[in-house]
């Protein structure tokens, strides 16, 4: 009993208290960061393709979309929800080409991703239009949104 009371008076050393508090803060952080994700993710899906908003990322006022002889490069950001993938349609002078699932990982809300897709100038010709159509996971299924929610770049510049 005496020993116990002496222990409680002395308390833990600053070093041990620090370690305990670090563990507590990390656990708290993990809970905060994971707790919201499933809860809000469901609501996101409920809004679906009608609400999805993706945009070309702008750097110093310039839209980051361009093409070279061998690839099309663009930087895209999601403005209001998690986008599972993208379907890109490139409309060129000679041909139209479709690229499905160009994202290696989902484009989450506020994410900015630089994407490059292979392209052949000799085959497709000058690029007239690039269309990026978001794909969302709705009710557990990957769904391509209708083309009115697509992001369009007309007559992009050469890189």
Partner 1 sequence: MSDELGNRIKELIEQNESLLSVKTTLLEEGFMEDDIDKAIHGVSTSNKDDEKKKVRHISHLVTGKDVFERVGYGFGSQQFINILFYISGASLFLIGIVNGIKSLLSVMISSFLQDFSEEYEKNRSALVMSGILLAMSIFSIAIAIYLNNLKIFAGGIIVGAICVVFYGDLYHRFTKTVLKTEHVPFMLRRMSHIGVVISAISLFIGAMFLQRSSNGYIYVLGISSVALLISVIFVFFLPTHNTVIHEKKKMWAQVKVYYSRAFGDMKFFMGNWILFILIVTGTISGVVQALGNTYYGIFIYKYLGGWGYGRFMNVAIVFSLALLTSLLAPHISRRNAKQYGKFPMLVFGTLLMAILPFTFVVNPHLTTVAIAVVLGVIGASISGIARGLLAIEYIPENKRKNFFVLSGVITTIPYLILFPLGAWLVSDFGMKYLFKILGFALVLFVVPLYFLVVLLHNKQRVKI
Taken in order 36, 38, 40, 44, the sign of the CA dihedral is: positive
- For the record, the structure tokens of 47 come out as 């809004």
- For the record, the structure tokens of 122 come out as 């000799």
The answer to the question of residue 60 lying near partner 1 (CB under 8 A) is: yes
Binding partner 1 (rule: CB under 8 A), the pick from 46, 47, 62, 152 is 47
Helix, strand counts (H, E) of the chain: 3, 12
125 to 154, contacts with partner 1 by CB under 8 A?
none
Which is nearest to 112 in space by CA: 149, 68, 79, 137?
A: 79
Whether the Cβ atoms of residue 130 and residue 108 lie closer than 8 Å to each other: no
The answer to the question of residue 9 lying near partner 1 (CB under 8 A) is: no
The answer to the question of residue 27 lying near partner 1 (CB under 8 A) is: no
The answer to the question of residue 22 lying near partner 1 (CB under 8 A) is: yes
Binding partner 1 (rule: CB under 8 A), the pick from 49, 89, 109, 128 is 109
C-alpha to C-alpha distance for 100 and 142, rounded to whole angstroms: 12
Query: Which residue, 15 or 118, has its beta carbon nearer to partner 1?
Result: 15
Q: Which range of residues in 50-58, 85-93, 122-130, 146-154 is near partner 1 by CB under 8 A?
A: 50-58
The answer to the question of residue 159 lying near partner 1 (CB under 8 A) is: no
Taken in order 126, 73, 69, 100, the sign of the CA dihedral is: negative
Binding site for partner 1 (CB under 8 A): 11, 13-15, 17-18, 20-22, 24-26, 28-29, 32-37, 39-40, 43, 47, 51, 53, 57, 59-61, 77, 79-81, 109-112
């Amino acid at each position: 009993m005496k020993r116990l009371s002496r222990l409680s008076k002395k308390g833990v050393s600053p070093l041990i208290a620090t370690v305990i508090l670090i563990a507590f803060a990390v656990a708290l952080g993990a809970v905060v960061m994971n707790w919201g994700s499933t809860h809000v993710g469901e609501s996101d899906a409920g809004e679906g393709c009608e609400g999805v908003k993706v945009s070309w990322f702008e750097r110093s006022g310039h839209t980051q979309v361009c093409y070279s002889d061998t690839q099309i490069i663009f930087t895209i950001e999601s403005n209001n929800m998690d986008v599972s993938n993208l379907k890109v349609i490139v409309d060129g002078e000679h041909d139209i080409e479709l690229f499905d699932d160009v994202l290696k990982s989902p484009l989450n809300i506020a994410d900015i991703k630089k994407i490059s897709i292979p392209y052949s100038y000799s085959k497709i010709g000058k690029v007239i239009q690039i269309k990026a159509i978001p794909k969302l996971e709705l009710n557990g299924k990957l769904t391509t949104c209708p083309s009115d929610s697509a992001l369009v770049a007309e007559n992009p510049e050469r890189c």
